[in-house]
Structure 1
Amino acid sequence: MLCINTYVAVAFPKYILSSEVKFPVTIEENFAVICWLCENANSINLNPAKTVIDGDYSGGNMSTFISMMVKDVGTVDAIKAHALLYLSLAVEPSVFESYNVYSKEDRFLSAKQAHLCIHENLGESEIELSACLTLYLLDTVEQLKGLHLALILSNECDTFRNKSKACTVSLPFVGTYTVEMHVLGAIHAYMSTPQYKFTLKLAIDFI
């Protein structure tokens, strides 16, 4: 539906899943896909100047990292924008209200499950990633400048709701055009619930 309604080609990077590999292997694999698309776009009839990266939860985190990497290596034009769904951009979540409210064992994404996801993805590099992701929220103005325009979707009943909102607050202050939508009644990983169609429409309009 996304492909048909936006008249775009969709690339699905085939990266190695966690916990077979740890951070930053999957980030580097996805970054390599962006580089390949830029170098070979003409041969597959694509316009590399209109690349949008999209992801939910861990995929959104990876998309964020790729946007930062593209900027840091001086190829910022390789990406036009990124659409990020229910992000988790700081490893230590307990400072956020939504974590304390929605991470109980009877919720869709409990604190125990969230910790397991972090461990499976990061392994021994958890401290390193925590520092990198915290930079995205709290870094200097110069380091945050130049990131791509962003659509950020947060969920009302999500353990990581306030993490997404923290990111949304940071980016406009450094000149990044940012649209944030708060999906009422949505839980974490809600793409199999009725709110999915509304979210898809937002992503289509954004792209």
Structure 2
Amino acid sequence: MAVHDDQHSWDEWYRSADTIWSGRPNPQLVAEAAGLPPGTALDAGCGEGGDALWLARHGWRVTGADIAPVALERAAAQAKVEGLDVEWVHADLTTWTPPSPYDLVTTHYLHLPGDALERALTRLAAAVAPGGTLLVVGHDHEHIARHHPDVADRYFSPESVAARLGDGWEIQVAETRPRTTTDPSGEEVTVGDAVLRARRAD
């Protein structure tokens, strides 16, 4: 299972194809954010911008942050085509401190080694405004541990993310959901998404 940790490896991966992602928003973002009143949003690890652009289309004032300049350039180009005003930030999420709180902080498939994941999630949780929402979605740890045990430490369960938050949070969703996707061979497979949605106390 291929993994990327630094800016160079991410940029090289994005350069390997004209487009890596579909451009569509992740389904768990749509499911969890569609009913929220638009405000300020941070899409952490935004890649080519599918989620950030979906939020912007729905009235959010969005910041998209990612470690890969190549991905950010593609995201910015698509935003320009659509006439959407999104702030794009080049950032290493393990060290970057968001400059202001957001009504929604969302990250999808942020899988980092060792304590880097802990550092990133701690910073993202701290960036949620009072009354705001944190949405963390990842590949289910149990599924990864069965099929790719060598990288299982990068993945998480929704309960483990909830436990990191501590007091001052209302856990609204903490579950693993099945999702149908296509594997590299073109075969349709069912995978699990670990979904954590929490509201910060006012």
Into which bin does the TM-score normalised by the smaller protein fall? 0.3 to 0.5
TM-score by length of 1: 0.34
Higher relative contact order (CA 8 A, sep 6+): 1
TM-score by length of 2: 0.35
**Which structure is higher in strand share?**
2
**Which structure is higher in helix share?**
1
